[in-house]
Amino acid sequence: MPTEFPTYNALAPIKTELAARNETLFDDDSLNSATKEGATFLSPSPLINGLKEELSPVILRDRHHRSAELPAPVAMHDNKGGFYTRCRLKGNGLYSGPREDWLYKIRNIKKDATGYVLGLQPEEVFTRSLKHSRMLREMGIETEVPIVAYGLSEVIYQLRSGVARLTLADALKEANLPEEYNDVPFTIKMDAFGINHRLVDFIHAETLFPEDENNAENVREIILKEVENYLIQEAKYNEFELPDFNNLKEFCRFIIARIMRNLGRLHKNGGIHGMLTPHNLTIDGKFVDYDTLKWLTGEQLKEGQTQDLQKLRESVFEFLTQIFDPIEAELIIQHGIHEYSHILNL
């Protein structure tokens, strides 16, 4: 039986250079540590000869397609009390996952029937994420935060003849993208998480280990144990009362109430997440991936709040019913909504 998430050699190192650092939220020691970790992971190799050579270790999960988690845990905090143990890279062109038929499919830029699939992130995505994360942390909202961005000068590109290292300009040309892309700076964004397990990982636990299709129970045990270990570390840093981890109902009440409080803080300040799917909710009680974030007022805000809360209820219900019957799941949700209402003084 597996006891931790495995690493896969599924990402090719590429040449990058440091482009930006989140100096507003992190001190130099934290930034230097994270930058070193990312630089080691992305250090260039001299030659790419094939799909399975010159690759770096990474943790991949089903449905996390365009991002990869660095396997080494960290212990860093921001100046607003956030405590983080995991780093994720996004924008590195990965379109892959842990299933055998997905491994080593490194496709930075391609065009298919759905249109352009970059797998890369323009620099402005990092800039916007930086701005939003600072605002959210000022509001006391617990979420992922960007740490650093690495500028790209080359990519690993999947040609018909195999995998090749190309300059970004040549890759854009090979992909036959419109000329306006030529002047767009792209970056790899490194984000800090408390823990990167999402509700979707728990819901679809049977897909996370390709070696065994019938191990959902084992995988869920690993997820909950890693969340427990993270919360114990976080509580030592932030001094809050932990749930009884042997009582699964109490554990889940703690998680769902925390998600609801974070949403309440966002709504109280006029923000709408807009995409509270199981993929965008972490099992330590936070929401992530806030590219869809909007700031509204009046009736638009009320409508957005209603839609956000309804989507959150659906996502949490799907998660909880993997463990409890629907009635018990609804009671846990109602407890969380009470926490949400308290934040908004409803």
pLDDT in tens, 327-341: 999 999 999 999 999
Please give the full DSSP string across 297-342, using - where no structure is assigned. -HHHHHHHHHHHHHHHHHHHHHHHTTTS-HHHHHHHHHHHHHHHHH
Q: What is the mean pLDDT of the chain?
A: 84
In the chain, residues under CATH classification 1.10.510 are 199-343
Instruction: Enter the tokens of residue 3.
Output: 């006891």
How large is the average pLDDT for residues 25-48? 76
Does residue 285 contact residue 258 with C-beta atoms inside 8 Å?
yes
Domain 199-343 indexed as CATH 1.10.510: yes
- C-alpha count within 13 angstroms, C-beta hemisphere, residue 282: 24
Please check the confidence at residue 309 and state whether its pLDDT lies above 90: yes
How large is the average pLDDT for residues 181-206? 90
Does residue 332 contact residue 253 with C-beta atoms inside 8 Å?
yes
How large is the average pLDDT for residues 191-202? 94
pLDDT tens digit string along 70-127?
Answer: 888 889 999 999 999 999 888 766 555 555 555 545 555 555 554 555 567 888 989 9
Please check the confidence at residue 147 and state whether its pLDDT lies above 90: yes
| Per-residue pLDDT band at 51 (split at 50, 70, 90) | very low
| Residue scoring higher pLDDT (217 or 211) | 217
Q: Of the candidates 97, 311, 122, 107, which has an alpha carbon nearest to the alpha carbon of residue 201?
A: 97
Q: Of the candidates 13, 10, 50, 9, which has an alpha carbon nearest to the alpha carbon of residue 154?
A: 13
